[in-house]
Structure 1
Amino acid sequence: MEYIAGRADFQLKRSAVTLGKFDGLHLGHQLLLNKIIEQKKRGLNAVVFTFLYHPGKLLSDREMELIYTEEEKQHILMEYGLDVMISFPFTEETRSMEPKKFIEDILINKLDAKYIVVGSDFCFGRDRRGNVKMLEEYASVYGYELEIIEKKKIENEEISSSCIREQIGKGIMEKVQELLGRPFSVRGEVLHGRKIGRTIGFPTTNLIPDKTKLLPPDGVYISLTAIEGKEYPGITNIGHNPTVGTTPEKRVETFLFDYDNDLYGKFIQVSFLERMRGEETFHSLDELKAQMDKDMDYGREYFQNKGR
C-alpha cells in the first residue's frame, strides 16, 4: 500500500475513493472500505482519503485521543488490501477551501476519482458547507459515480467513533469489539522495561503507547498478542505499576502464557478481550505475585473455554 502523508504534491489515476476521519475503522467504515475494494475489479485504485492533523489544529483535547494512531491505521488498511492511503495536511488553507474547489482540486485533479463512496452525513470544505447533495450535483459534471451509505446500526444505535471511545473509556472491551468488528488493540515496538516481572516469575513485554493513543482504564486485561502473524494468549496490565515504583508514562505490559523468545525491538499488536480488574497497589512483591497467579488461572480458563 502506498502511504502519502502531510503533502499535496501527488497525482493518482483512476481512483475509487472514500473520504472521512476513519478513526476506529469500525463496522460502519468497513462498509465504505468494502465498496472501494470491490471497485478494484474494474481496474480502479482503492484509495482512502483522510486528514493528517497537527495537534495544534485539533478542535479539542478529546480529539487527540485516537482509537487508532496513524501507524496503526496504516497497518489495518494495508491488511485490508487498500492501494493508497492519503493523510492530507490539514492546514488553514485546507480548512478554508471552498467545497467546489475541493471537488475540483482534490477529487478530480489529484485523485482522478471515477467512483466515490461516502457516509450519508459526510461534509467537507469551508465551514463544512459541502455535503452529499453537492457531490450528487457535480457527479454528472465531472463524470464520477457516487454511492452514499447510510450509517450502520447495532440494536438501533448508530455506530460512531464517539460511541466507541465511550465504551473504551469504561473498559467494556466486549462491546468495543462488537462495534469495531475486531478487538481493540495497541501496536508498537517492544522496549526494555525494568525487568521486575522476571524476579517474580512473570517476564513481560513492554510497550509505551503514543501519547495520542486512547487507552482503556488502568487495570488487567485478558489479551491476545500478534507476533509475526501468530497470536498468543496472555494477560496485559495497563498503568503505572504502583507496587514497584510508579512509572512516569503509562505502559502496556503483557505476560504471554506460552512464549519465551526475545521480543525486544520487534513490533507486536496487543488486543484486549476482557477487563479483569483495576490496577492495584500491593504491599509487597509476594502479594503481587499471589494476585498474578490468580490472574493467570483466570486467563487460562478464559481461553480454555474459548477453545484456544
Structure 2
Amino acid sequence: MKIIRGIGNLNNEFTQCVLTLGNFDGVHLGHQQLINHLIEQGKKLNLPTVVMLFEPQPLEFFCKQQAPARLTSFKEKVMLIEKLGIDYIIAVPFTQTFANMSANTFIQDWLINKLKAKYIAIGDDFRFGHGRKGDIHLLQNYAHNHHFAVQSMPTLVWNNLRISSTAVREALLNSDFKLALCLLGRDYTIEGRVIHGNALARQLGFPTANIHLHRKKPALQGVYLVKVKNCCSNQDYQGIANIGVRPTIQGKKAILEVNLFDFSGDIYGQYLDVTFVHKLRDEKKFDSLSELKEQITQDICTAKEISAKLTN
C-alpha cells in the first residue's frame, strides 16, 4: 500500500480507480464492510482501490477542544486499513482552503478530473464540501454524465445498535470493552513507540514505558489493567496503564504510561500494542508523591487479582 500526502502529490500514480472517503476513525466493522466492498469492486473492474482520509479530522479542525475523542491516531488508522488490502491512501490536509471548497468543485475537480474515479462508495451518513452540502444524491447527479457509479453503503447494525465511531467512543467511555470488541471486531488497542519520560515513576519504584498518544483527545482516561505485546520481540506482558495528564505533577498533555508486571529491561524506542482489559479507577490528583506511590501499589495488587479471576 502507498500513502499519498495531498492530492497535489498524485503524480499519475493511476489512471482510474475505485474510491471511498471519510474519517474512518477506529476502522470499526462498518468501515471494514465498506472497504471490503470497495476491494470487491476493484477486483471486478480491475482498478486500484483508494481510501481518502482527512487530517486533522474535520471536527478537530472546526471544533478543536470540543471535538470528539480520537479513537485511532493517523498511523494506527493507516495500519488497520493496510491490513484490509487497500492499494492507496490519499491523506488530505484539512485546511481552511479545503473547508471552503464547494461540494460541486470537490466532485468535478478532485473526484472526476484528478482521481478519475469509476466507482465511489460512501457511508450513508457521509457529507462533504462547504456547508456539508455534498451527499450521495449530489454524487448521483454527476455519475450518469461522467460515467462513474456511486453506491451508498447502509449502516451496519449489531444487536440493534448502529455501529459507528460514536458508539465505540461511548462503549469506551463506559469501560465496556466487550461491546467495543463487538463494534470494532478486535480489542481496543493503542500502539506506540516507547519514549523517555521524566523518570519520576522509576524514582517511585514503578518504572513505566511512556507512549505519546498522537491525538488531541484520547478516548480513554484513567488507570487500567492492560495486556501488552512488544511488537519488536513479540513477547506478551500484563500490567497497568495510566492514560491522562498526570495532575499530581501538573502535567498538561495526555500521555500513556504502562507499568509491566515482573519486567526489567530497556525497551526505549520499541513499539508496544497496549490492549485495555478493565478499568481500575479514574485519574486523580494526589496531595503528595507518597500518596501516589501507595495508590500505585494498590492498583497493581487490584489489577493482579482481577487478572487472576479472568484467567481462571
**Distance across 1 between alignment mates of 2:309 and 2:182:** 22
Q: Which moved more, 1:37-46 or 1:234-243?
A: 234-243
The alpha-carbon deviation at position 39 of structure 1 amounts to 3.3
Cα deviation 1:9-55 (Å, max 9, x = unaligned): 42433212111121221111111111122234343211111222389
Judging changes above 3 Å, is the alpha-carbon distance between structure 1 residues 214 and 81 closer, same or farther for their aligned structure 2 residues? same
Match of 1:277 among 273, 281, 291: 281
The 8 Å contact of residues 230 and 270 in structure 2, kept in 1 or not, is answered as no
Q: Which moved more, 1:291-300 or 1:79-88?
A: 291-300
The alpha-carbon deviation at position 118 of structure 1 amounts to 1.0
Equivalent position of 2:304 in the other structure:
296
**Distance across 2 between alignment mates of 1:123 and 1:266:** 39
Q: Which moved more, 1:82-91 or 1:292-301?
A: 292-301
Give the secondary structure class of the aligned counterpart of 1:228.
coil
Cα deviation 1:129-186 (Å, max 9, x = unaligned): 2221222232222222222211111222222222322332333322222222222222
Equivalent position of 1:67 in the other structure:
71
Judging changes above 3 Å, is the alpha-carbon distance between structure 1 residues 254 and 13 closer, same or farther for their aligned structure 2 residues? same
Judging changes above 3 Å, is the alpha-carbon distance between structure 1 residues 62 and 240 closer, same or farther for their aligned structure 2 residues? closer
Cα deviation 1:208-244 (Å, max 9, x = unaligned): 322514231212233343523836241222245567x
Judging changes above 3 Å, is the alpha-carbon distance between structure 1 residues 289 and 115 closer, same or farther for their aligned structure 2 residues? same
The 8 Å contact of residues 170 and 217 in structure 1, kept in 2 or not, is answered as no
Match of 2:186 among 182, 189, 198: 182
Equivalent position of 1:103 in the other structure:
107
**Distance across 2 between alignment mates of 1:242 and 1:138:** 53
Structure 2 residue ranges without an equivalent (≥5): none
**Distance across 2 between alignment mates of 1:191 and 1:112:** 43
**Distance across 1 between alignment mates of 2:38 and 2:59:** 30
**Distance across 1 between alignment mates of 2:132 and 2:60:** 19
Task: Give the letter for the 1:36 counterpart.
Answer: L
**Distance across 2 between alignment mates of 1:276 and 1:162:** 23
| Count of residue correspondences | 303
- Structure 2 matches for 1:1-308, cutoff 5 A? 1-10=1-10, 11=12, 12-42=14-44, 43-53=46-56, 57-63=61-67, 65-195=69-199, 202-228=206-232, 230=234, 232-235=236-239, 236-239=241-244, 245=249, 247-257=251-261, 260-279=264-283, 281=286, 283=291, 285=293, 288-302=296-310, 304-305=311-312
The alpha-carbon deviation at position 194 of structure 1 amounts to 4.5
Identical amino acids, percent of aligned pairs: 31
Give the secondary structure class of the aligned counterpart of 1:105.
helix
The 8 Å contact of residues 234 and 254 in structure 1, kept in 2 or not, is answered as no
The 8 Å contact of residues 225 and 268 in structure 1, kept in 2 or not, is answered as yes
The 8 Å contact of residues 8 and 89 in structure 1, kept in 2 or not, is answered as no
Judging changes above 3 Å, is the alpha-carbon distance between structure 1 residues 66 and 288 closer, same or farther for their aligned structure 2 residues? closer
Let me know the Cα RMSD of the aligned residues: 2.9
Q: TM-score w.r.t. structure 2 length?
A: 0.83
Cα deviation 1:233-279 (Å, max 9, x = unaligned): 41222245567x55444332223347654210122221212223334
The alpha-carbon deviation at position 285 of structure 1 amounts to 3.7
Q: TM-score w.r.t. structure 1 length?
A: 0.84
The 8 Å contact of residues 169 and 219 in structure 2, kept in 1 or not, is answered as no
Judging changes above 3 Å, is the alpha-carbon distance between structure 1 residues 25 and 175 closer, same or farther for their aligned structure 2 residues? same
The 8 Å contact of residues 226 and 274 in structure 2, kept in 1 or not, is answered as no
Q: Which moved more, 1:226-235 or 1:99-108?
A: 226-235
